[in-house]
Chain A
Amino acid sequence: MAAQAKRYDWVSIALTVPFMLLIVVFIVFPVALTVRNAFTSVTFIGVPGEYVGLKQFERVVEDQVFWDSLKLSVAWVVGNALLQTLVAFFFALTINQRLRGGALIQILILLPWTIPTVAVAVVGTWIFNSSYGVVNYILREIGLISMPINAFGNPDIAMRSLIGLHSWHWFPFFFVVILGALKTVPNELYEAAAIDGANAIQRFRRITFPLIGRILGIVGLVGTLWSFNVFDTIYLITKGGPVNSTYTAPIYVYETAFREFQMGKSSAASVILMLFLMVFATLYYRFVVRKES
């Protein structure tokens, strides 16, 4: 063993080569390509463009649609984070009360996460359908509404409907992680606190929250970045409409590249968004995750 340790460990390097190749060729290199394209006049993919300096960035910054899309993306992320975390947390706390059938319930709850995003889109448009949808029917029957709601066709509520649908698809994932974190808190701590006269809310604040704060912080970061980049759910249902009410940043990037054929401008927008997310992730890590640990 000692003799082995003295030699340079080429084997380990070799083992990581496929991993590094994948990352370099399909993540690092594409990012580099995007940055390069952002400085050129390229329109269609494959048609070489000329170097134009910062012109594409100027075009993006001057484009009101871009800023509107960024605002909508922030609303989308905040809405999803609040809804998913609250629901996942609430139910994780409930299930953690050692209810019977907890293991089966966990699997059942995860099922929405296993279905294709397109199927989620179908489920959403079908149950919220304004003519034949079951949700409108139930709401009408119990007297909450008199006119059917056009969940994805009404610009005032399309965004909220999409957030609800996306949260339905993804909160199970966070539910499982949060529940797992809750299970790591030793029961003795709660019992000791109960003997000392701490009530349920004090126990949550003083024991549960500090112990699982770090995992919550990480889940929050991953969830935020994942949801910022959601494209398919939105595009499949509303294509960014009606009247641009769900036109988030990823839709802007996609449409600019594949519908308007302005690859350079789309790349510049991508680079700006990338920097934006990096700054966000760094600040978040500094002030939220590190503080917790």
Chain B
Amino acid sequence: MASLDTGGGDGGHKKGPGVKKAKKLSTRVDMTPMVDLGFLLITFFIFTTTMSTPAAMQLFMPKDTDKKEEQNKAKESGALTILLGKGDQVYYYEAQMLPDGSNFKSTNFKGIRDVIINKKKSTPEDDLVVVIKPNDEATYKNTVDILDEMTINEIKRFALVDITPQENEPLKATEASNGIK
């Protein structure tokens, strides 16, 4: 395929003496370089294309307010507080944290989904509120993941709140005892 056919010498029929044979020029052109270049471009474009276009995740934050009466109140029984620490670990407690810390539990991002689903099943829909409190060592990924978990489990009411020292302390203690770096 890749050779230019020039008609080649005396391959044709013999004419009489003195009759010159018109040289037959082939119309076939060597395609190899073009195809080579084509494949080069294909590989280039394959590597440069980003197929997945980014998606936007909506996040609505409440206005900061110091007035007690403007703050949203949550029924204690329907509250689930999720704390985010380092090493992709998740800590949670239901309702209020007991002084002895007995309802302070730790899990990971796989386990938290079941916790949320169970909580959602066991509480009336209007009472359910999830409070998310990342501490200073939580990553942005953890925060987005837990917000995403709210969408996945269709939790209507949730809030992104700062962690309090009372909550951060048992969190740090659990991290130290579990050896999480």
The finding on whether chains A and B are genuine partners in a shared complex, rather than unrelated, reads: no
* Interface positions of B (Cβ within 8 A of A): none
Interface residues of A (CB under 8 A from B): none
